[in-house]
Amino acid sequence: MLDKAVFTPQGKHLIAGEWIAGEVTFRSEPAHGPAHDFSVGTPALVDRACMAAEQAFWTYAQTTREARAAFLNAIADEIEARADAITEIGTQETGLPVARLQGERGRTTGQLRLFASHILAGDYLDRRHDPALPDRQPLPRPDLKMVQRPIGPVAVFGASNFPLAFSTAGGDTAAALAAGCPVVVKGHSAHPGTGEIVAEAIHAAIAGCGMPAGVFSLIQGGKRDVGQALVQHPRIKAVGFTGSLAGGRALFDLCAQRPEPIPFFGELGSVNPMFLLPAALAARGAEIAKGWAGSLTMGAGQFCTNPGIAVVIDGPEADAFIAAATAALEPIGAQTMLTDGIAAAYRAGRDRVAGAKGVQEVLTSMCDRRDATPYLFATTGREWLENEALGEEVFGPLGLIVRVANDAEMAQIAHSLHGQLTCTLHLDAADTELGRSLMPILERKAGRVLANGFPTGVEVCDAMVHGGPYPASTNFGATSVGTLSIRRFLRPVCYQNMPDALLPGDLA
């Protein structure tokens, strides 16, 4: 176990086992505590990391599942060995509370260990075998075997809102390493010290497990040229990204425009609408409102699954729901947002919604600088349908209630949605028929459909889907959470009449 000494970042990049300083630095902007200087990434460093990843691929892709599982478990152990230091610098940089960082660390190590167990079981390989049929007429059939194989080095972009679970050793990195792919991470400048200490943990696991040094690199900071160089580098074969629609779409387009286009697995967020059906609204509207307020403001609303929209049928029950939601939100004070830029974007989103035609201010507050306070607005179904901008995500604790005239207009709202990460039905037994009519719409719109719950809190498990039709994500057939996420970084290879001695170990 490491000591509990205060972690002081060295401010360097980790490139294939070497800590490298740059000539240009940037200074972190912590919510509290000391600021630190970090080297700025460059396209030259990107090239160095990608070439090292390619060299490592030839060894790492051939490792056994047992060796990769031990490596994933070792990363988890090394992260836990730095638990106190990670929490300290993570809370300083992001302003997130200690309990949130501790929980996110547990989620990060938990998914590493889950992926280790999953690849040991081997089901993800989707192994298939069609034996030879030499006597088949009119032509014989050859012996055919198929298995999933790693695709090559993967680029991962750290997320602003999850300094651990979706960043340096987060889900994309864990999935790629589990699949047998080296990883090059572009760290997020919102929490560079947290990224560095986690990279230190991965570095220790690489040494302890005897893995090739180029299996992991971390490049800090850098402007757009660094991200562009990374996704366009010919050695990179896939990209994992969690972030804004604008940034993700720009990188997606670059991936598609390459001489060799590659998959871009971008998770870009959504408004995660909730549909409150009449019987449930009448029976427990106040309870739902209270739960919504808690979900809406959790972590200052900085979750991609934040349920920003509530759709209700107009009437006295809708009035009571709005009153209950207002009462639940009013006592919630200011929370520190992840960065000054995110806070500014939240205020801009608030102003956009407040200024839209037909939008009523229900709960207003005052927030400035890096703080966020909750806001609540209401509009009609007709205004929603006429103003597509109301369906754009506001990253923060802002809720919009859409009052629809009837069941048919509720279905129109559902049809009007763009792709979502989640859609939620709040319903009781008497709402079953209406719920049944909405389900075909919602399952086409979202990657996860919930009943009587709230979408914040994404379980890491086999059945989870964290993705959805565009613009929720750029690849609707994939998930960035859960064991199925490993399949993003594999491709099927068929072996025809291949001698056993030449087959990959997972088939021999």
Among 50, 181, 255, 304, which one carries the catalytic annotation?
304
Paired sense of beta strands 144-150 and 128-130, if any: antiparallel
Q: Tell me how far CA of residue 464 lies from CA of 112, 123, 418, in angstroms.
A: 15, 16, 21
User: Are the beta carbons of 334 and 300 closer than 8 angstroms?
Assistant: no
- Among 157, 156, 200, 163, smallest CA distance to 179 is for 156
**Can you tell me whether residue 276 is helix, strand or coil?**
strand
The question of whether 304 is a catalytic residue gets the answer: yes
CA distance 199 to 179: 19
DSSP letters for 146-208: EEEEE-S-EEEEPPSS-TTTTSTTSHHHHHHHHHT--EEEE--TTSHHHHHHHHHHHHHHHHH
**Residues 6+ away with beta carbon under 8 Å from 323:** none
For residue 275, the Cα-to-chain-centroid distance in whole angstroms is 24
Residue with tokens 């051939």: 62
* 470 φ, ψ (degrees, to nearest 5): -55, 140
Q: Which two tokens stand for residue 433?
A: 């028929």
The question of whether 200 is a catalytic residue gets the answer: no
Q: Which two tokens stand for residue 41?
A: 């990434």
**Residues 6+ away with beta carbon under 8 Å from 61:** 149, 150, 180, 181
Residue with tokens 């598609």: 256
Q: Maximum CA pair distance of the chain?
A: 80
Q: How many residues does the chain have?
A: 508
Q: Which two tokens stand for residue 213?
A: 């040094």
Among 267, 317, 393, 409, which one carries the catalytic annotation?
267
Q: Which two tokens stand for residue 507?
A: 């088939």
Q: What is the CA radius of gyration of the chain?
A: 24
CA distance 290 to 426: 13
Q: Which two tokens stand for residue 117?
A: 């167990």
**Is the bond into 397 cis (omega within 30 degrees of 0)?**
no
User: Are the beta carbons of 272 and 307 closer than 8 angstroms?
Assistant: yes
Residues labelled as active-site residues: 267, 304
